[in-house]
């Protein structure tokens, strides 16, 4: 049941009518039940695993809060280890098993080892990080432990962010569930506009781009020389439209329900350096890693070399978080090295020479370093990364450029330019100020969707993480 499906729209519409006219207590129950129903569409086993994780972390929070310092620390460490193992078994066991099998063959084994079959619950990385942040916040006394089981269930089962985030902080989300939320006309219209635009850029930009780049980027050994210089930006816009579209849908649905989620993207392709880029792309994950990993490792408190080592370790873990595969690990290390190189240039004072030309050059370099990195998501072995490098050694022919793609990405580019000009902290159509703008955009969007959108629906890109 995807956000960009008629099935979801019909189910949510019926749910919303009942929700809107219900009391605070009933609304809470309805959200839990709809969250269970929504997640169960991807399998009962995965739902049972999620419920088990919810119960475990709720009890861990209670135990951490109710014990003295020595036992408290042991309970906290146990809770973190179990969550990491929970994620590791389902997401990384088969990858590690495969490496072991490959090594055995290289050392003289006759055949690959038997490979077990394991279910990968959808959204497991997101809700596990959700729960780890809760335990850390309780242990550090940043928030009060949640003693209401149904509130904690809703913290993990809130369906707008259940599958792909954002990875909300418990200090922001749990208090919202414990207070009466007013649903104004302004929230309904603003939330609806965000949801509609999220579905639009997913279906009219991300899905068409996915079909175009998927054919090319999965066959590195038979590509025209230099074509990856053209394919890489297409992949970048595909991933951005896909994930940004989901985030807008999540924000819009939450606002219609009376809640506010954090903004996960802030025009990242206008960033002029890697540090700025990662403060604007997948903000909930970037800040999560900064607060719970980078700072815990010492951050920048122990000298420049240690600071950059911490950064590289964080990016290595970021690669692993995104998926179990060689490409993800290489991708994480690649982006970590890009960020460290920028910090070295900044450290020696090179970046202090700022002018419009340098800024534009920085935007292009930052965009292309990110775009080329996304190619690594698609490799199946370290040797395929050499095929990428070999292809990029050539200058592409202009005849390779599919100029229709510029038309496809135009609405997203124009929207980001508009938001940059307005200097918005959160995406907004300013429906309450100028409602006619939304009506015009909706009509234009409808015709655009009719022209370029495929009717077959693609899963959201980040479902695999």
Percentage of the chain modeled with pLDDT above 90: 38
CA distance 66 to 69: 10
Kindly tell me if the per-residue pLDDT of 461 is higher than 70.
no
pLDDT of residue 134: 94
Q: What's residue 392's pLDDT?
A: 85
DSSP state of 271: -
Given 302, 322, 347, 394, which residue is catalytic?
322
139: pLDDT strictly greater than 90: yes
Q: What is the pTM of this model?
A: 0.88
Q: Which of 69-83, 324-338, 387-401 has the lowest mean pLDDT?
A: 387-401
Q: Are 403 and 170 a contacting pair, CB within 8 Å?
A: no
Mean pLDDT of 232-250: 91
What tokens does 189 get?
A: 């219209």
Instruction: Specify the pLDDT at position 50.
Output: 92
Q: What is the CA radius of gyration of the chain?
A: 23
Report whether 431 contacts 193 (CB < 8 A).
yes
347 is catalytic: no
User: What mean pLDDT is predicted for residues 130-155?
Assistant: 93
- Nearest alpha carbon to residue 168 among 133, 195, 192: 133
Q: Which helix (H) or strand (E) holds 275?
A: helix 274-277
In angstroms, the CA 175 to CA 68 distance is 26
The answer to whether the CB of 335 falls within 8 A of the CB of 373 is yes
Domain spans, the chain: 10-179, 186-464
Closest by CA to 332, choosing from 349, 347, 318, 344, is 318
Across the range 154-171, mean pLDDT stands at 88
Mean pLDDT across 93-113: 63
User: Whose structure tokens read 């950064």?
Assistant: 311
Mean pLDDT over the full length of the chain: 84
Per-residue confidence (pLDDT) for residue 393, from 0 to 100:
84
């Amino acid at each position: 049941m995807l956000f960009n499906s008629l099935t979801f729209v019909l189910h949510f519409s019926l749910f919303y009518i009942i929700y809107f006219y219900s009391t605070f207590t009933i609304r809470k129950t309805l959200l839990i039940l709809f969250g269970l129903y929504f997640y169960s569409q991807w399998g009962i086993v995965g739902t049972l695993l999620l419920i088990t994780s919810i119960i475990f972390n709720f009890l861990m929070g209670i135990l951490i809060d109710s014990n003295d310092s020595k036992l408290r620390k042991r309970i906290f460490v146990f809770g973190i280890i179990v969550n990491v193992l929970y994620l590791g078994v389902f997401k990384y066991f088969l990858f590690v098993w495969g490496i072991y099998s490959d090594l055995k063959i290289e050392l003289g084994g006759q055949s690959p080892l038997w490979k077990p079959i394991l279910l990968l619950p959808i959204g497991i990385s997101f809700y596990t990080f959700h729960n780890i942040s809760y335990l850390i916040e309780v242990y550090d006394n940043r928030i009060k432990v949640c003693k209401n089981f149904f509130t904690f269930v809703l913290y993990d089962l809130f369906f707008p962010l259940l599958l792909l985030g954002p990875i909300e902080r418990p200090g922001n989300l749990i208090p919202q569930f414990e207070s009466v939320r007013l649903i104004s006309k302004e929230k309904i219209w603003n939330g609806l506009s965000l949801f509609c635009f999220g579905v639009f850029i997913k279906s009219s930009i991300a899905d068409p781009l996915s079909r175009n780049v998927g054919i090319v980027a999965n066959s590195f050994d038979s590509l025209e020389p230099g074509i990856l210089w053209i394919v890489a930006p297409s992949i970048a816009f595909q991933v951005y439209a896909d994930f940004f579209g989901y985030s807008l849908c999540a924000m819009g649905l939450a606002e219609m329900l009376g809640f506010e989620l954090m903004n996960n993207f802030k025009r990242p392709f206008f960033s002029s350096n890697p540090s700025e880029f990662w403060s604007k792309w997948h903000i909930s994950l970037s800040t999560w890693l900064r607060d719970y990993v980078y700072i815990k490792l010492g951050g920048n408190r122990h000298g420049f070399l240690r600071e950059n080592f911490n950064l590289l370790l964080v990016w290595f873990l970021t690669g692993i978080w995104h998926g179990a595969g060689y490409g993800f690990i290489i991708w994480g290390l690649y982006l970590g090295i890009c960020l460290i190189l920028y910090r070295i240039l900044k450290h020696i004072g090179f970046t202090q020479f700022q002018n419009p030309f340098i800024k534009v050059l920085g935007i292009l370099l930052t965009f292309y370093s990110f775009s080329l990195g996304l190619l690594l998501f698609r490799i199946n072995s370290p040797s395929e990364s050499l095929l990428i490098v070999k292809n990029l050694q050539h200058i592409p022919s202009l005849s390779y450029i599919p100029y229709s793609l510029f038309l496809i990405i135009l609405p997203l580019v124009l929207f980001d330019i508009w938001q940059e000009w307005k200097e918005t902290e959160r995406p907004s159509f300013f429906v309450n100020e100028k409602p006619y703008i939304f009506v015009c955009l909706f009509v234009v969007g409808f015709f655009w969707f009719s022209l370029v959108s495929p009717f077959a629906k693609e899963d959201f890109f980040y479902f695999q993480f």
